Amino acid sequence: MATNSVKLLGTWACPYVYRVEIALKMKSIEYEFIQERVFNKSELLLKSNPVYKKIPVLFHDEKPICESLVILQYIDEAWLNGPSILPSDPYDRAIARFWAAYIDEKWYPLVADYRNVEGKEAKAAMVERISEGTLLLEEAFIDMSKGKSYCGGDSIGYVDIVFGSLLGWVKVIEIVDELKILDETKTPSLAEWDEKFCSDNVVKSIIPQAEKLVEVYHKYVELKKANSS
C-alpha cells in the first residue's frame, strides 16, 4: 500500500489515535502521520471533521473517515489482508461493538473525570463507580475471550484495541492520583490481559511508557493554564 494513499491526522499522545495506528500496523498498512496542533486546530481538521472537530481522522485516497471506532471498522472492511479486527460471527461482532461503546461512553469518562471531582466523599463515590464498571469489564472479558489471551481470542481484536489504547493514560491516572484501577486481586483476568496486551510488539511500538505520558500530562496542564489565562 502506497504511503500517500493512507494518511492519519492526530497527535502522538492521543489514545484514540493509538487505536488507528495499532489497526494499521496489524494490517501492515503503510501510512503518513500528520501531526495535529493541540490547542489551535488546523484547517485540515476542521474541514475533514466539521461535526466533532476531533482527531483522529484517517484519509484513504484523500477521503476522510472520522471517529476512532468507525475508523477501526473501516480498516477491517477496506483491507482484508492481515488479521481480522472484528469477530466474523455476527453475534460476537455485535457484542464487541456493545462493549467498545460502553468503554468509550461510560467507563473511561468516569476514569478521566476522577481528577475533577472534589471532596473526599465524592471521590470515594467515584472510585466505587469506576470499580463497578471495571468489574463489569472483567466479566465481559471472561465471556468474550473464552479462556484465551484476548477479547479477540488468540490475537488482539476490536475490544482489545479499544480498551488497550486507553491503558497508557489509565496508568497516568493511577500514578498521578495514586488510584489503582486494574487491581490484580479484584480483576485478575484484566490485569493479566493488560500485561499481555502492553507486551505485544505492535502495541509497544505505538503506546509510550506511562512515565513518558506523565511528563506529557504535566506539560499539558501547564499549557492549558497558559492558554486559558
What CATH number did the domain enclosing 25 receive?
3.40.30.10
Amino acid at 128: E
Domain identity same for 107 and 27: no
Distances in whole angstroms, Cα of residue 119 to Cα of each of 70, 115, 122, 126, 178? 37, 11, 5, 11, 16
Domain identity same for 25 and 95: no
Q: What is the CATH number of the domain that holds 160?
A: 1.20.1050.10
pLDDT of 99 over the 50 cut: yes
Q: What does the pLDDT read at residue 128?
A: 96
Q: How far apart are CA 166 and CA 108, in angstroms?
A: 8
Contact 31, 8 (CB under 8 A): yes
Q: In what order do the strands lie in the sheet with 57-60?
A: 32-35, 6-10, 57-60, 63-66
Domain identity same for 72 and 94: no
Contact 206, 18 (CB under 8 A): yes
Tell me if 223 is assigned to some domain: no
pLDDT of 2 over the 60 cut: no
Percent of the chain whose pLDDT exceeds 90: 88
Lowest-confidence region among 89-103, 138-152, 209-223: 209-223
pLDDT of 121 over the 90 cut: yes
| Domain limits for position 143 | 90-212
How many Cα neighbours within 13 Å face the side chain of 123? 10
Q: Give the residue-averaged pLDDT of 139-152.
A: 97
166-184 pLDDT, tens digit per residue, is 999 999 999 999 899 999 9
Question: Looking at 53, 78, 103, which one is the last position of a domain?
Answer: 78
Per-chain mean pLDDT for the chain: 94
Record the pTM. Answer: 0.94
Q: How far apart are CA 122 and CA 205, in angstroms?
A: 38
Q: Give the residue-averaged pLDDT of 32-45.
A: 94
Q: What does the pLDDT read at residue 58?
A: 98
Q: How many domains does the chain have?
A: 2
Distances in whole angstroms, Cα of residue 115 to Cα of each of 127, 133, 213, 216? 11, 17, 16, 16
Domain identity same for 40 and 119: no
- Torsions phi, psi of 80, nearest 5? -85, -10
Domain identity same for 66 and 167: no
Tell me if 225 is assigned to some domain: no
Domain identity same for 104 and 199: yes
E strand intervals along 87-216: none
Domain identity same for 145 and 59: no
What is the grid cell recorded at 212?
Answer: 513518558
Domain identity same for 198 and 127: yes
Helix (H) or strand (E) run with residue 155 in it: none
Domain identity same for 97 and 164: yes
